[in-house]
Chains A and B, each alone.
Chain A
């Protein structure tokens, strides 16, 4: 074999631009709107007798406000706690006990309020006493509770990838099942959508507080994301992470959650997506039977609090017991805006694969790792760049190098082969994603929720493929300005730095 050179490959470029891989691929989606406004999407894939499902509710952290930050995520946890007929042997008997806990929780909140206020006389003893009383009533309610019944039922029926997740844009519930168990799915999902009961509220509130410690407070990137959100977004609801603020979590009220559920959890705000070894007509009939009976709900309130325009670079340091890392972010527009695709192509040219600019000029020079990616959000959000220095390089050095790459894009058009390769990579990944029932279900539900029409999945691919070098230069100059950016760095606390220096 003769040694192949890069020159030769670039010379042969035309060869590889022929026939993009995904052009012949169609996505055969069957859809139906139930009379209560619920959207059902079905894709057949008969390779194995299994099916992946998603129920998506169009509510996330961006629909929250302070005092209930993280409520969408907490509600997601509560959706596993049962209804009037699941998770309980005697719902009527539970009601007064739950009401009793709510009154105690109000007393607890009041006592904690006093404890925080130096002018008032709160008692820690009293607070602990109330906490114990809540626990006692919870234990009493335990006699009627069938623990985690929904979860257990799915699992013994072969449920796989059972989980749920909440972000800023939406909340989704996943389960994959053997394809003969779809009636079980329709029954359980419609039951919790129509008739959720908020039992074990206060013990789950403690679980969420631990989740926040684990995923946000004690992980370097967790700390970084939270600091970035709160610094780059001064006013919009992207200011808080989907987990919510710690003190909001500690004080969540059950009636606030009931209100959140009433507003957002109804068929007209929900999408179901079923992908696998199924007959679409049968799915539609099942959905009509189970979800069709749930009444449509109120139109969710609009979100209108924008970020005030950023005037000047913002810089923040967070102290954490770890080696330095950094993040840079710029404000960018929301999904549907024509500048999103050029930014997306640019992020791929910067950081996707071994020929990307960050890999060639940062990784291969042993400076550090960097990645850039867009947000695909309902409201204006951030283009984010994550930075991890290598060897003994400082975060500042790597950041400078990454910023230099970004500056270059503003003044020199990217090369055509770079656009071609990210287009072909993206095409190939699209084809690969069609091999996964879960992957298809998630993407369809996501586009349906964010853009209001799953077809945008295909339209966006066209937008992505039509991006030119001029588009990229234009958006780079427009968004990647100093005054539009926020920089967050993680540094070890002063005590750690001294310790480290002493040990050298």
Chain B
């Protein structure tokens, strides 16, 4: 596993570019225009057609899609729970619960036996609890379906939570806190979210003082409250027979009783802007820059226009305006661009990022902000708009390339209470975006006066102070408290 270097660093690879006017076309593009592509036979997969949905008597919701090409079975579970629902002093409970459910074994099988059994059959079974959902996944050869389901049900229903495995995950989390200032990127991301969201679950920082006092009983109670059949969805894909799998599900999950569950409201994000420049000293030879502000959420009808706008600005990897200018023209950075979250429940963030040598920090930031001003200042070109929309529309099929992906998309939709036709309407919604929409959302959802800037590096070596962008505050990184 030697280091391998890639052309671009991040996995999000959509792009747009300003094309030259027709008179200045390349010879190659004229050849490409003549290519006659056969029509792609494809439509967005649907419930009832491609994927079957059923509800067991105890409320477990099943999504099923058969695929007999390979002798494998995959099951993914979604459980409504997570860190977003708990106050700060309890923020470690969901994560530890999600870890020890699997690592600690069950009341029927000790952890060593569970691990050995799974590894002997080449199976995988994992659980975790994240921000807004718990998840579990099983992957076994289809010949081991019965055993796999039995173990998965056991882990979901009867985790043992032994003290030694609780201690182990606490030590791992402690180590993680101890090492949180080792790389510039970790510092940057943590400080940025904390400045934007404050102590809202989206922004708070994990500390040892929240981890140390957690007792076994709190984990047991957390599990008992959330892991009830009417709070679980299962996505089943691969080499299985529907009748057979349903009878196995009834066998291993059927006697699990329904129970009322009431989750508290997740606190609203405080949308007060927090403008300013925050510098964090780190002994490195490159500045890591991130700046942005709160934006939109998944219920906002403007989110399609926002996505298209952001792709033209800096989301379309390095043929977008910002990347083209700062990376390709000026050679100032390997990794520069913007991201706009449009699928979060509450307000997501827009941010721009860049890494550049210390002596060009100001220059890179200036050029990036100029692009923000430019997209707010006038209509984008027709070619930029078309290229962005084509890219979204033509690559949409890649969301649905395997049964696992298809089932997950449909399951997430229901989990997030979004309308069932939303996936089908996506292409239309992107197609409808106009240049005027792009300008309107740029003005409305990019607000330079609200930007929070975070820069990790050695400010003494920046070619110019950054106070032009706002009042400068230095954040001092103290060694984290670990006892």
Contact = CB atoms under 8 A, between A and B. Distances in A.
Interface in A100-134: none
B267 interface: no
Contacts, number: 330
B417 interface: no
Interface string B350-361: 000001110000
B182 A425 contact: no
B20 A3 contact: no
B335 to A, nearest CB: 6
A377 B17 CA distance: 39
Contacts of B72: 428, 431-432, 435
Nearest to B24: A89
B4 A155 contact: no
A99 interface: no
Interface stretch (A215-223, A305-313, A477-485): A215-223
A466 to B, nearest CB: 18
A149 B26 contact: yes
Nearest to B388: A156
Contacts of B283: 321, 493, 496
Interface stretch (B111-119, B227-235, B447-455): B111-119
Contact of A80 (B7, B24, B35, B179): B7
B478 to A, nearest CB: 7
B330 interface: yes
A435 B13 contact: no
B355 A180 contact: no
A252 to B, nearest CB: 13
A73 interface: yes
B13 A21 contact: no
Nearest to A80: B7
Contacts of A156: 16, 386-387, 390-391, 394
B319 A363 contact: no
A48 B397 contact: yes
Contacts of B7: 76-77, 80, 163-165
A166 B2 CA distance: 11
A213 B329 contact: no
Given A210-B286, A243-B5, A503-B478, A417 B120 contact: yes
Nearest to A79: B7
Contacts of A303: none
A200 interface: yes
Interface in B1-36: 1-9, 11, 13-20, 24-29, 31-32, 35
Contact of B172 (A220, A390, A420, A436): A390
Interface string A424-437: 11111101101111
Nearest to A218: B284
Interface string B49-73: 0000000000000000001011110
Contacts of B32: 153, 184, 187
B328 A200 contact: yes
Given A25-B70, A158-B397, A391-B174, A148 B318 contact: yes
Contact of A184 (B35, B167, B391): B35
B475 interface: no
Contacts of A157: 390, 394
A409 to B, nearest CB: 18
Interface stretch (A5-13, A33-41, A257-265, A294-302): A5-13
A142 B139 CA distance: 52
Interface string B148-179: 00000010000000000001100110110011
A354 B332 CA distance: 44
A8 B328 CA distance: 62
Interface in B114-155: 115-117, 119-123, 139-141, 143, 154
A82 B28 CA distance: 10
B24 to A, nearest CB: 4
A405 to B, nearest CB: 17
A167 B37 contact: no
Given A4-B117, A49-B41, A321-B282, A218 B184 contact: yes
Contacts of A353: 115, 119
Interface in A160-211: 160-168, 176, 178-181, 183-184, 187, 191, 200, 202-211
Contacts of A89: 20, 24-26
Given A9-B116, A390-B172, A218 B401 contact: no
A5 B355 contact: no
A180 B141 contact: no
A404 interface: no
B88 to A, nearest CB: 24
Given A4-B109, A152-B16, A425-B122, A354 B115 contact: yes
Interface-centre pick from B19, B26, B179, B328 (highest chain A CB count, 10 A): B26
Contacts of B121: 16, 424, 428
A458 interface: no
B175 to A, nearest CB: 5
A364 interface: yes
A375 B121 CA distance: 26
Contact of A151 (B25, B27, B318): B318
A155 B387 contact: yes
Contact of A180 (B39, B67, B123, B400): B39
Interface residues of A, number: 124
Contacts of B39: 180
B168 A363 contact: yes
Interface string A79-90: 010111111110
Contacts of A426: 122
A391 B171 contact: yes
A32 interface: no
A83 B109 CA distance: 63
B395 interface: yes
B73 to A, nearest CB: 11
A6 B110 contact: yes
Contacts of A83: 28
Contact of B13 (A45, A160, A429, A434): A160
Contacts of B168: 363-364, 366
Interface string B87-124: 00000000000000001000111111101110111110
A386 to B, nearest CB: 9
A262 B26 CA distance: 24
A159 interface: yes
Contacts of A210: 286, 331-334, 355-357
A164 B331 contact: no
A206 B331 contact: yes
Contacts of A390: 171-172, 175
A167 B4 contact: yes
Contacts of A235: none
A176 B398 contact: yes
Nearest to B319: A148
A366 B169 CA distance: 9
22 contacts: A4-B108, A4-B117, A10-B116, A48-B402, A49-B397, A157-B390, A158-B395, A160-B395, A164-B7, A165-B5, A206-B330, A207-B331, A211-B335, A218-B184, A220-B183, A323-B178, A354-B103, A354-B111, A384-B1, A425-B119, A426-B122, A428-B122
Interface of B: 1-9, 11, 13-20, 24-29, 31-32, 35, 37-42, 67, 69-72, 103, 107-113, 115-117, 119-123, 139-141, 143, 154, 167-168, 171-172, 174-175, 178-179, 181-184, 282-286, 316-319, 324, 327-335, 355-357, 386-387, 390-391, 393-398, 400-404, 478-479
The 9 closest A-B pairs by CB, nearest first: A428-B122, A158-B394, A206-B331, A322-B182, A211-B334, A203-B331, A86-B28, A85-B27, A156-B390
